[in-house]
A and B are shown apart, each in its own frame.
Chain A
Amino acid sequence: MTDRLSVEQQLQAAFPTLVPDPPSGNNMMRYRLDQARLPEIARYLHGQMHGRLALLFAVDGRPIAQTYELHYLFAVGSRQPWVLLTTELAGEHRLFTSITPSIHAAQWYEREIRDLFGLIPQGHPDLRRLIRHEHWPKGTHPLKKDFSWDTVMGRQQGNYRFRHIEGEGVFEVPVGPIHAGIIEPGHFRFSVAGEPIMQLEVRHFWKHRGVEKLFEQQLLTAAVPLAERVSGDTTIGHSLAYCQAVETLLRIDVPRRARYLRSLFLELERLHNHLGDVGAICNDTAYALPHAHCSRIKERLMQLNDRLTGSRFLRGVMCVGGVARDVDTKMLAETVNELNRIETDFSELESIIVANASLTDRLETTGVLTERTAWDHGVIGVVGRASGIDQDVRRDRPFAAYDEIPVNVALYRYGDVRARMRVRMDEIHESIRLIREIRHNIPTGPITGEPSRSPHHGEWALSAVEGWRGEILYVVMTGENGQIHRCKVRDPSFVNWPAIQWAVIGNIIPDFPLINKSFNLSYAGNDL
């Protein structure tokens, strides 16, 4: 409770006229502000109070109110309430003041709002299209309420202007959207002079499927399958975040057993993804042996998922109110036994990997993301923790069963590929430990809870989950008759992608796949 007062007090001390709105939940401070005051207060939160801009999103409130709302969400410290600044654009007003010049992390959010809502961030240094590729017809802003979700779009002629560096011996190397491996599409444009990379421009959103608009066509209780398919490798992370938001709206008390099972599934998802990544990082240095072993162990984990739930990706497991599948004592014991065997297996492999000097040579000092750059971009998750950003939702804002089974957060400072691999290795052991704890402490009881109310139009809830990549945020707003009015999805990839442009500078192009793999960001979760 004292923490809560302190954030409020600090703000009050700096801005005596600032009064918080009645809080929407007990974990958030809300402030409604005038357009003109917002940049200053945002700057103060970011600069003085060390607040991370966690999310910036817009809502088209036009059917009811003649306004667009802009929401700026800041995370200030661990175990402190979120701070939300809200401002309105009334009537035909389409301009808002960009905060990107002082808060770098806002850059993609503001361009996204421009593309999807047609609101223009004044003073933004880069107003090129982000999601709307050049062939989208002018004036297409899909998240406006008067844009129909199943519009058939035409094509127009257009050009995308890449940033160019010119000079003697400077070459541009375009890569993608279709890559050489079995990976998702995205475009990377390198400017190189000789070997070292001088600049990388990431151009994404090839896979934009209109996910947020699709959510708006769904009922609150029926959108879990869509959430599972936002980013397939993060099935549990996304579906859990979505369910939690809806549960807040419907005031569902999730039974304890269900919360433990949720943690179990989330850790299982973390395990198989991290194992795949450790192997893939080694493979990108042409060290194939650990890759073979890791993908073998990963396959064991996927088969374990399949035995537990009937889905290798744990699909259909999460439901609004709890979980759809119970895991009985026998299966739990079997899971822990299998994980114990896997841990031994992995530990042997780990000692082979860390003892390899030539591998270490490739990984150390490669693709360094400094703590400063990471902070400026609001980088989170595995990538953040490898660069000294001490952040983990499981510890900072406990959800599921993490208030009862505390997590030890892995933290490294060097920010290179090796640090990102080490974070993953540590988290593999930690996840297995957590699952042992879960098995030990799991209570008996029901696995789903019932809604105790129906939310009214315009109410919304925020939920945060530490997926295996990092913090996943969902904001769900109710519409009429249990429909979704707005669902903002924020995968950690969206925040971390811009940072990769800085991590590669000075490295050579052949190291790019390695650096990219060590970030291993989702294209699907980013493009939505």
Chain B
Amino acid sequence: MFRILKKSLKTGVVTGQHPDAIQPSKPLAPEVREKAAPFKRSLTIREVDTGSCNACEMEMNALTNPVYDVERFGIHIAASPRHADALVVTGPVTVNMERALKDVYKQTPDPKLVIALGDCAINCGVFKGSYAVTGPVERHIPVDVRIPGCPPRPVEILKALADIREKQQSSGK
């Protein structure tokens, strides 16, 4: 117990100890802003991997670490699409995952946002054209927000998510 306390005291607060985003995120389209309005201050995310190389997942996971601590912005990660306001999709959509992605989309209650995370989800990246890849996410379900990068840094994801939230606040009130 003593050791744990000592460790915690010694470590202090690490939240926010990260370099700033280099890439400025693109401003949101007005219709997306409107769509995001109902979520006000909290946004619950379900992450779906449709064939990524798993680096994008790792950066999503990094968002929950003490340094980025995404929960402080009212952003939660849900275990089921039925609890989600937004789907974050990573990777090109493989032939084997196509159906699962469509199912998840159907199971997510309206209103909902779809966020394509990483170059693969936006344009299939290095996997473009392969027989096993059916196309980018937007070929199957409507995409509202795009976060480019291979993989995007956690700060960039954080910034994009915070943008959605901010716009929600200003337009939601």
Give A contacts to B, CB under 8 Å. 133, 135-136, 142, 147-153, 177-178, 180-185, 205-211, 213-214, 225-226, 229-233, 235, 276, 289, 292-293, 295-296, 298-299, 302-303, 306, 312-313, 315, 348-349, 351-352, 355, 522-524
Closest to A179 in B: B79
Stretch at the interface among B23-31, B32-40, B53-61, B138-146: B53-61
A sample of 5 cross-chain residue pairs with beta-carbon separation below 8 angstroms, ordered by A number, consists of A182-B61, A184-B54, A293-B11, A296-B11, A306-B153
Question: What is the bound-complex CA distance between A38 and B78, given in angstroms?
Answer: 52
Contact in complex: B66, A214 (CB < 8 Å): no
Within 8 Å of chain A (Cβ to Cβ): is B125? yes
Which 10 A-B pairs rank lowest in CB-CB distance, beginning with the nearest? A232-B55, A295-B65, A210-B132, A232-B53, A180-B79, A210-B130, A229-B53, A151-B131, A182-B47, A299-B67
Question: What is the bound-complex CA distance between A236 and B163, given in angstroms?
Answer: 33
Closest to B124 in A: A209
Once A208-B132, A213-B131, A226-B126 are accepted as A-B contacts, the answer to whether A231 and B14 lie under 8 Å apart by CB is no
Number of residue pairs A-B, CB distance < 8 angstroms: 158
Chain B hits for A185, CB < 8 A = 49-50, 97, 100
Chain B hits for A233, CB < 8 A = 54-55, 58
Contact in complex: B7, A349 (CB < 8 Å): yes
Question: What is the bound-complex CA distance between A292 and B3, given in angstroms?
Answer: 16
User: Which size bracket describes the interface of B in this complex?
Assistant: 35 or more
Within 8 Å of chain A (Cβ to Cβ): is B95? yes
Chain B hits for A230, CB < 8 A = 53
Question: What is the bound-complex CA distance between A523 and B65, given in angstroms?
Answer: 22
Within 8 Å of chain A (Cβ to Cβ): is B151? yes
Contact in complex: A149, B130 (CB < 8 Å): yes
Chain A hits for B99, CB < 8 A = 135
| Least distance between B119 CB and chain A CB atoms (Å) | 10
Tell me whether chain A's interface is mostly helix, strand or loop, or mixed.
Answer: loop
Within 8 Å of chain A (Cβ to Cβ): is B136? no
| Least distance between A263 CB and chain B CB atoms (Å) | 22
Within 8 Å of chain A (Cβ to Cβ): is B52? yes
Partner of A299, one of B4, B18, B56, B92: B18
B residues 51-104 touching A (CB-CB < 8 Å): 51-62, 64-68, 77, 79-81, 91-92, 94-97, 99-100, 104
Contact in complex: B49, A209 (CB < 8 Å): no
Within 8 Å of chain A (Cβ to Cβ): is B122? no
Chain B hits for A276, CB < 8 A = 58
Partner of B66, one of A180, A231, A292, A302: A292
Contact in complex: A209, B3 (CB < 8 Å): no
Within 8 Å of chain A (Cβ to Cβ): is B43? no
Partner of B7, one of A182, A293, A299: A293
Once A206-B94, A213-B131, A312-B153 are accepted as A-B contacts, the answer to whether A231 and B53 lie under 8 Å apart by CB is yes
Question: What is the bound-complex CA distance between A177 and B91, given in angstroms?
Answer: 15
| Least distance between A376 CB and chain B CB atoms (Å) | 28
Contact in complex: A298, B94 (CB < 8 Å): no
Contact in complex: B131, A150 (CB < 8 Å): yes
| Least distance between A527 CB and chain B CB atoms (Å) | 8
Contact in complex: B127, A232 (CB < 8 Å): no
Within 8 Å of chain A (Cβ to Cβ): is B133? yes
